[in-house]
Structure 1
Amino acid sequence: MIFKLNVSSFRNQYESPEGRRLCVFTAPVSEIPKEWEDWRDVNVRDTKRRSDVFNAIVDTLENDPEEMVFRNLGITIVSPRVEFDNKTNVVTVEFSDKTRHGIANGGHTFSAIQHALLKGPVNAQVKVECIVGEIDPKWLVDIVDGRNRSRAVQTESLENLAQSYDSIKNVLTSPLYKDRIAYSEFELDDRNKRKDISVREILSYIYCLDDFDKNTHPIEAYSSKGAVVDYYAAEDKSGKKRHTYVLEKASKILPEILELRDVIYRDLPRAYNVAGGSFGKLTSMGVMIHENNPRPLKFIKGDTIFAYPDAFVYPILAAFRQYIDHRSWSWGKENPLEIWENKKIDVASAMKDAVGTFSGNPNKMGKAAVTWRMCYDAL
């Protein structure tokens, strides 16, 4: 079978005396053929597609697509023939034997790309490494095994093993989401499906509301959830593990934090419109409308016709940290939902200004300190 891909770059890296060749190209994720799904047999270890790894890649594709090519190792394929036309920037890839050709590594990446594209266009690039030539089956096994062993155990898996997240597990007991949260890699639910909420996401919401002053914004909650996991796994300057005094205290109000997150997500589109904007027209900012197929909210009952990037939500949620007493991790005199109800139009107006500044680039908006400061001041 022949596949033709429009690529952004192509490079031959090495050719062995026996004629085996190593080359690499980058291409828009939309160029990766969905038919490659049928060419995964060579990766005998690629069985854990529904995992936290998958979730993390999808998160990058949806919320930080420009970083995809830098963060992700890409896809490795084995092919008898790969050719590049430098006049048209088209790469031709041939697969002919499913026992020898196809995706040797990067199955999570391939699946995440196809999953993300089902929701709409994704402005991301992916690297594809090509091992080209006549490949002996025994040598192929060594390639697949070696490349699949290169991945380290994620921090959250080790922290879960160390029972660092027990205080979180003890409070997140709602039947709406209890069995959907993965506290380590490769967690499946009772139906053998991937759990759709990662502990990384839960920790990022706590980080949003941690003890940062008005001039120090917890932008990593949006931009680098892996860094947030490492932050709570590490020791502070006094030698205390942060999970022992932050996560345990924060867990007391964690269900309320998750509820607040969903209420913000549900209410923001209408508040944005009341503030003089037109939320449904922000397609260049990743906003999509599903009028005939509303999407359920993550942590509370109800649904929404809107789907939009986390860049809108994190700066608003983080603004609520000013209403928390961090000595006890408790809310002040005012209920956060009442604060939101009273202030949401003002906050939406601030977000409208941020959209005007970063039109067409939600990722930049989500990483910009000015966005977080505007939301903080509006609240």
Structure 2
Amino acid sequence: MAKHSAFTENPGIIIRLEMSTTQTIGGVTKINGMMKAKYIIQIIDDLDLQANPRDSKTGAVTSAIIDSAQSDPQLFPFKTKGILLAASDYQWLDRDRIRMFFVDRSIEGILDGGHNTLAIGLLILNRALEFKGEKPLRKNLTWGDFKKLWAEKREMIGEYCESIRKNDDGSPNTENTTGSDLSFYIPVEVIVPKDPEDKMCVADFRSDLLEICEARNNNAELNASAKANQKGYFDELYKQFQQYEPGLAKRIEWKTNDGGDIKVQDIIALVWLALRQLPEVKDAEGKTVVPPAPVKLYSSKASSLKQFERFMSSPEVTVGEHGDYKSALRNNDVLKAFKLAVQIPALADYIYANFPNMYNAAGGSYGKITAVKKLNESRRNKHTPYGDESVAVASPDGFITPLVFGLTELVDPDTMEWRQDPQRFLEKNLQAIVNDYAQVLSALGWDPQKVGKSPMSYTTVERDYKMALAGMLE
């Protein structure tokens, strides 16, 4: 029987597993069992999804889970994978109960089953609302939205749970009506260290958790951004955004489904404008990480993100913390690159906002370009991509991306600082660059797809940025 280690003082949470089985291989113990839905309440009260690579959100998946639990509660535990919990400290109690202590919430907690947790939690919340005569929730929710509502209605949930434990006359309800109460089962799997009192065993267990979590979520096609976030590769970049532009930092979807409206892969594509000026590094497998080709900034931001994950995995760039499950930045030049990168979204917005008028000043008629006309007819709200500032004319990404890529020429690879103040450079030179760049649009038939995917677009802009830096572009 496992003992609770002496170094843990938090009260933990108690779950009760029925029909449980225990298996131990090496230093890891796995406990499989069935948990009644009512016991998920304490899990939702106490845990978030920090340890899960993605935040869950409502949609077709959660709707199907709720329907299954309500329409066929006896078969429900055979239709779902349930919930995977991990804790580095635990204690067996009587009556098949386990007290779990989640010492490091960044890797311990709900490793898999976030959508199941959200769905059952939403089912309970809606039943509580109906019990109090309120309308059930219909709107789409992220996990964060749900937790706020859960906290607001927690007293109501408690009253509902108390009501289903008693008959109308106040006597205990001993009937198992599964469909109408919270006694239907949820499959639960618990993984814990074999010996929580053995510090080496616990350290090894923690170092294995990220790999276990990643493998379990591969069935749901865990994407590169979720993996990179879980490994800590965004942590320092996030800190820099928090310091430079906290409003933008909040809008970036650092973790899948966390509610951000700016995809992290869009940001990472911009980060490469600074990173590409650094010397090449070797990834965790000893293979050289080559910066993404310029056209990838437009045509494949996902591949730029994968390259970023490889880049950050390099022992020349990051070092493992807390065992090996999470990494911290160790390369000062990369930190300098991040400090430059956080300034690029605002510069990209400046280019986006000013390009239409500058194209017209170069002799063109921007509003008459077919792709521009169609885009503006279909888009009511026109705003810059990152600052969300209103603009008169929306632009296809293919026209803007090469001009943004040119900013990499302003990064001095020797000092990892700007060669010139980038905002002043654009104010002084962007019109002259656009005068030349307009010929590329003409040569490629004003097709934003061709412009965004053509190497000629990027080489032209690179040349013009270099000439402007040398004072040779008019």
TM-score (norm: length of structure 1): 0.53
Please say if residues 317 and 334 of structure 2, whose CA atoms lie closer than 8 Å, have aligned partners that are also in contact. no
Distance, in Å, in 2 between the alignment partners of 1:337 and 1:303 is 19
- Corresponding residue for 1:280? 367
Change (3 A) 1:286 1:366: farther
Q: How many residues align?
A: 232
Instruction: Determine whether 1:309 maps to 2:431.
Output: no
Give the Å deviation of 1:167. Answer: 1.3
- Corresponding residue for 1:61? none
- Corresponding residue for 2:417? 330
- Corresponding residue for 1:263? 350
Please say if residues 285 and 360 of structure 1, whose CA atoms lie closer than 8 Å, have aligned partners that are also in contact. no
For 2:295, the aligned partner's letter is I
Change (3 A) 1:249 1:212: closer
Give the Å deviation of 1:342. Answer: 1.7
Distance, in Å, in 2 between the alignment partners of 1:373 and 1:293 is 34
For 1:346, the aligned partner's letter is A
Instruction: Determine whether 1:180 maps to 2:251.
Output: yes
Distance, in Å, in 2 between the alignment partners of 1:283 and 1:149 is 42
Please say if residues 160 and 183 of structure 1, whose CA atoms lie closer than 8 Å, have aligned partners that are also in contact. yes
Please say if residues 290 and 306 of structure 1, whose CA atoms lie closer than 8 Å, have aligned partners that are also in contact. no
**Deviations, residues 236-290 of structure 1 (Å, cap 9, x unaligned):** 9985348754653322123321111110111111111101111111223576337
For 1:338, the aligned partner's letter is R
**Which of residues 197, 200, 205 is equivalent to 2:265?**
200
Distance, in Å, in 2 between the alignment partners of 1:162 and 1:286 is 43
Equivalences for residues 1-379 of structure 1 within 5 A: 44=64, 150-173=219-242, 174-188=245-259, 195-211=260-276, 218-235=294-311, 240-241=316-317, 245=331, 247-284=334-371, 288-289=375-376, 295-300=382-387, 302-332=389-419, 334-379=420-465
Report SS of the residue matched to 2:222: coil
Distance, in Å, in 2 between the alignment partners of 1:291 and 1:240 is 47
Give the Å deviation of 1:365. Answer: 1.2
Change (3 A) 1:366 1:206: same
- Corresponding residue for 1:76? none
Q: What's the C-alpha RMSD, in Å, of the aligned pairs? A: 3.5
Please say if residues 218 and 318 of structure 1, whose CA atoms lie closer than 8 Å, have aligned partners that are also in contact. yes
For structure 1, the residue ranges without an aligned partner over 5 or more in a row are 1-39, 48-147, 189-194
- Corresponding residue for 1:124? none
Distance, in Å, in 2 between the alignment partners of 1:237 and 1:301 is 33
Please say if residues 275 and 334 of structure 2, whose CA atoms lie closer than 8 Å, have aligned partners that are also in contact. no
Change (3 A) 1:377 1:302: same
Report SS of the residue matched to 1:153: coil
Distance, in Å, in 2 between the alignment partners of 1:368 and 1:357 is 11
Change (3 A) 1:41 1:184: closer
For structure 2, the residue ranges without an aligned partner over 5 or more in a row are 1-59, 68-216, 279-291, 319-328, 466-474
For 1:284, the aligned partner's letter is A
**Deviations, residues 121-145 of structure 1 (Å, cap 9, x unaligned):** xxxxxxxxxxxxxxxxxxxxxxxxx
For 1:222, the aligned partner's letter is Y
Distance, in Å, in 2 between the alignment partners of 1:204 and 1:302 is 21
Distance, in Å, in 2 between the alignment partners of 1:46 and 1:187 is 21
**Percent identity (aligned):** 20
Report SS of the residue matched to 2:247: coil
Distance, in Å, in 2 between the alignment partners of 1:228 and 1:218 is 10
Distance, in Å, in 2 between the alignment partners of 1:156 and 1:355 is 33
For 1:305, the aligned partner's letter is A
Report SS of the residue matched to 2:256: coil
TM-score (norm: length of structure 2): 0.43
